[in-house]
């Protein structure tokens, strides 16, 4: 378990991955920076995204991550920005707290600011944990599929590889080495059996909500359809996957 992750989000200071990156990142609070580092595509929703606050963006990515069967591109810049903001707010609270002359009104503001910090922290934690859950569930699939690597942060990828290795080591030492050699494989295609490396089920249906009028998409039966802005559809994940990565739909 990467216990240090948990600690990172508990205390708003210091840490190896997101926080360090966020610190080295330019101070980008005043101008938009593409968060989807996975694609490098132009932000299609530039206008709408500008109206969304960082926290609302995180909520959207969190809900997407919770509802999508596959692991989505990580939002490191966004997380870094929010963690910075949390740290700033926490520092301000500490300063105000230390001031013995603060009025009741001040206490009241402090309480509200702290409440909000806790709300943001909750979503950040849940987001990271959701990703962690998928990483551990699909660790061996991730370790062997380079296309997925760019969707993960460095810390996440390291963890996935280490976890996959540990699990394989454990399987080998606990059971497999005592079996006949032809039964020791951890990656075998057996007819009529599910694959031995669990992979995300992209056929699983999801509820997609169109944020803009979407380009046509192909349904499993081969027909084409278009989602109007605001429409909600239940459809297999692979149908809307590219729209989701472009930010044209959100999962609800």
Binding site for other proteins (CB under 8 A): 53-56, 59, 63, 66-67, 82, 85-86, 89, 105, 108-109, 111-113, 115-117, 119-120, 122-123, 126, 129-130, 132-133, 136, 202-207, 218-223, 225, 231-236, 238-239, 241-242, 252
Q: Nearest CA to 18 among 160, 126, 118, 156?
A: 156
Q: Nearest CA to 70 among 248, 249, 245?
A: 245
Who's near 12: CB < 8 A, 6+ residues apart? Answer: 83, 86, 87, 90
Q: Give 46 or 111: the residue with its C-beta nearer to other proteins.
A: 111
For tokens 């996957």, what's the residue?
241
Task: Sort strands 217-218 and 224-225 into parallel, antiparallel or unpaired.
Answer: antiparallel
**C-beta of residue 248 within 8 angstroms of C-beta of residue 219:** no
Q: How near is the Cβ of 85 to other proteins at its closest, in Å? A: 5
Q: Give 37 or 55: the residue with its C-beta nearer to other proteins.
A: 55
Q: How near is the Cβ of 164 to other proteins at its closest, in Å? A: 15
Q: How near is the Cβ of 53 to other proteins at its closest, in Å? A: 5
Q: How near is the Cβ of 80 to other proteins at its closest, in Å? A: 14
Q: Give 57 or 172: the residue with its C-beta nearer to other proteins.
A: 57
């Amino acid at each position: 378990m990467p216990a240090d992750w948990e600690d990172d989000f508990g205390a708003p200071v210091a840490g190896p991955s997101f926080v360090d990156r966020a610190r080295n990142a330019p101070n980008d609070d005043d101008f938009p920076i593409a968060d989807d580092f996975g694609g490098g595509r132009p932000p299609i929703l530039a206008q709408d995204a500008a109206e969304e606050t960082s926290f609302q963006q995180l909520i959207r990515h969190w809900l997407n991550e919770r509802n999508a069967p596959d692991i989505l591109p990580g939002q490191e810049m966004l997380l870094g920005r929010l963690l910075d903001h949390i740290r700033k707010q926490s520092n301000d609270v500490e300063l105000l707290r230390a001031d013995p002359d603060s009025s009741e009104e001040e206490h009241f503001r402090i309480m509200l600011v702290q409440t909000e910090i806790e709300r943001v922290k909750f979503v950040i934690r849940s987001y990271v944990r959701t990703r962690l859950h998928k990483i551990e569930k699909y660790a061996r699939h991730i370790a062997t599929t380079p296309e997925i690597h760019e969707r993960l942060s460095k810390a996440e990828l390291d963890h996935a590889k280490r976890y996959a290795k540990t699990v394989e080591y454990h399987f080998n030492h606990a059971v497999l080495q005592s079996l006949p050699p032809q039964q020791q494989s951890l990656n075998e295609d057996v007819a009529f059996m599910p694959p031995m490396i669990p992979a995300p089920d992209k056929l699983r249906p999801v509820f997609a909500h169109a944020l803009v009028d979407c380009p046509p998409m192909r349904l499993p039966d081969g027909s084409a359809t278009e989602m109007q802005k605001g429409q909600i559809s239940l459809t297999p994940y692979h149908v809307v996957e590219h729209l989701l990565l472009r930010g044209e739909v959100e999962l609800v």
